[in-house]
Structure formats: structure tokens, C-alpha cells
Homo-oligomer: A and B are copies of this chain.
């Protein structure tokens, strides 16, 4: 079987471009309309994409004066998408820093049941300071957030394992619903959590919902190498993409994992036109709709330095290294500005499309060329597709880029698997408590 690439549709309001809401082809009033997201999920499914993904933060981040923010909580939304789709994977972001493992294990187990094995969890540690202020705490340090995340994952996985697959007997005649010998307390007692278990939702169809991660710091990559099965990442150049890919895959062995146990999915915002000229026109239209005040506020948050209108036509000032927030994002932004000698205004324009993700404008063939190149030169196992405007940009991708990828033998014609794991080509984990699995428990 030839190697196939995997595609995730990153759903973001009415589009990833920060000016998408001003573009005549979007309807920003649909930001809190479930039908908008249901339409997006159906389009992705029409294109046999692996999954859709919803980002999240637990604070109003960004300047809502100039962008369409304030949408729906992902997990709550995804079960409404599960209800109107049959195949597409459903990946929601949930933070380990401001949640309890019992709730998170239970909600993802529930979504996995509801969707028939299509749930995935984008595990984030919440880099923002505003988030901490909604939970009455000072933002924990970068290292502490990842330490908590690591133990959090241990607990959640134990809870997902707490019901063995064959625990339910359903023996009406004998009055035995379950074999309680196959439902295990987890009795976890660690640094951050003490959780007795078992979970009060039976084992999810996938065993464990798919685990996704997107941190790029040292701690982030170690965490991914240990737990993640798919990794989202922002990489501007092929070289950086290759380095990141090799780096992450190299780390897997020390956790007893194989190369194919983790898929690397760099982000790409495809600006699609039927001609290159049409694509560039759309890119230009969006650029002209940028509100400079918004871009400045975003860039100030990303870099940690205050930037005002006076800064617009100068180079980016010196930026202190980040230690406690989102380390990798800040580095990416500064590197981009320096590499291409950009003014602040130009940098804002470059970031507006994908907040640091790669933006490619062109014909469906040109986009496919880009995907193919990264896929075959050790930079990607697939892609996180971030359409500039929604739903139009996703429709264009599915109707024009996907067929091109199929013709090239790079992408499926129909769903082979039943679950998200199966479509991503990943194994279903057995319960650590199942008999014959003692070796795993001990590990």
C-alpha cells in the first residue's frame, strides 16, 4: 500500500484570516450558529478528510472590537456535529491546566460513544495570562504546566482503561449487568491529582480517544513524543518543517514508540483561485481588510512588547525571549520578521492569514504541489488545513485540491476505517487492566 497523507480541517469561526469576517463571502453572524459548523463538518466529510478540529482558549483573547470572537465551546459543539455526520473525526481542544482529569476523561469518553469512535483531544496547557485570571490563580510556570499535563494524561488514560472492553455482561436472566471484576478503581495518588475512579462511563469505542498536541517548546515536544498521536505545528519553511519532523520522530524511541505512532501535521492556509491571479486577488482583498489596530494588538500579545501605530513602518523592535508563555510561537514570529527583514506592518500582513502558519496562494495544482513536496521530503505526514474564509475556502479545498490529491494517488477516495484512529492508521490501545496486559501496567 502506498503511503497516503492525512488531512485535518481546522475550523475557525468564519475563517482563519483575521479579516475574514469583513469579507463579502462570509457571514459573521453565523459565529454562534450551529448550522454553520454542521455545514463545515459535512463539507469536510464530503471530501473524505480525516477530521475537523476546533481550537479553544479559556479567556476572551484578542481584540473583539475588530474581530469575530466569542464563539462556542468546542466539546459542546462537537457532539452537535457528531449528530449530523458519520465518518469525520471530531477533535476538540481542552486545557490540562484549568480542568480536572475526571471530567475531561468522561466528556471525551462520552463524545467517543456519541460519535461511534470519532473523538480526538487537542491537549493544550494554556499559555495565556488572561486564562489564569478566569480561574483565580497566577499562571503556573511553563514547566509546571507541562508537569501537570503529564500527570493529567496518566490519570485520564487510567480512567479510560478502568472499564475493560468486556466488562458489560448485560445478562438479564441472571441479573448481572456487569462483571465488577473488570471495572477497576484506579486509585491514582500523585503530585497534582488524587483520583479513585473508576470512570462512570464505559470504555470508549476507540479505547482512548485520539490524542493530539501542538506545543513546540522542548517540554512540548517531549510531551508530544510521549503521548501525542497527531501533532499540529506551525512551520514557515520546508527546512524548518523537516527539522521539526525529524526532531519529533527521533524522540519517540525513548518512550518505546515507533515512527508511525505519531503523525506530524503542519498547518497550511491555502488561498485558492482557479488561476494564480484569482488566488492573489483574494489574498489582496483580505489584506486590504486588515484593521491595523487589531494586528498590532495581536502582535503585542505574541511578542510581549507594546506596539502602537508609530511602530507600523519600522522593523520589529528587540523582543525578549519568552520563558513562561507560548515559547515557540514567539520565536516563530521573531524569526520570520528577521529572516525577511519585515516592517511591523508587513509582519502583521504575513501573520494575518494564519497567525504564523504557512500561507500559500495559488491554483489547486500549485497547492497540491506544495503538499506533495512537504509530504515526500520528510516534513509532513499530512496537513492541518486552515481555510482563510469559511465555509467557502473549505469548499474550494474539498472540491478542487482534494480531487487533485486523489489523482496523484496521495489521498483516499473513500473512508476505509470506521473510527478516527482507523482513518489515521493508528492502533486501538488495550486496557492496561485487561488480563494478559500486566506487562503494560508495570511499564
Contact = CB atoms under 8 A, between A and B. Distances in A.
A58 interface: yes
Indicate how many identical chains form the complex.
Answer: 2
Nearest to A203: B70
A317 interface: no
A175 interface: yes
Contacts of A183: 60, 64
A390 B410 CA distance: 48
A80 B106 CA distance: 16
Contact of A76 (B71, B76, B98, B130): B76
Nearest to A180: B65
A361 to B, nearest CB: 22
A170 to B, nearest CB: 5
A300 interface: no
A116 to B, nearest CB: 8
Contacts of A38: 83
Interface in A63-80: 63-73, 75-77, 79-80
A285 to B, nearest CB: 12
Interface in A95-128: 98-100, 102-103, 106-107, 109-111, 113-114
Given A66-B175, A178-B64, A110 B72 contact: yes
Contacts of A32: 113, 201-202
A141 interface: no
A195 B327 CA distance: 26
A237 interface: no
Contact of A60 (B58, B73, B136, B200): B200
A61 interface: yes
11 contacts: A21-B172, A34-B82, A57-B200, A58-B102, A60-B183, A61-B200, A70-B202, A71-B202, A73-B109, A76-B114, A77-B110
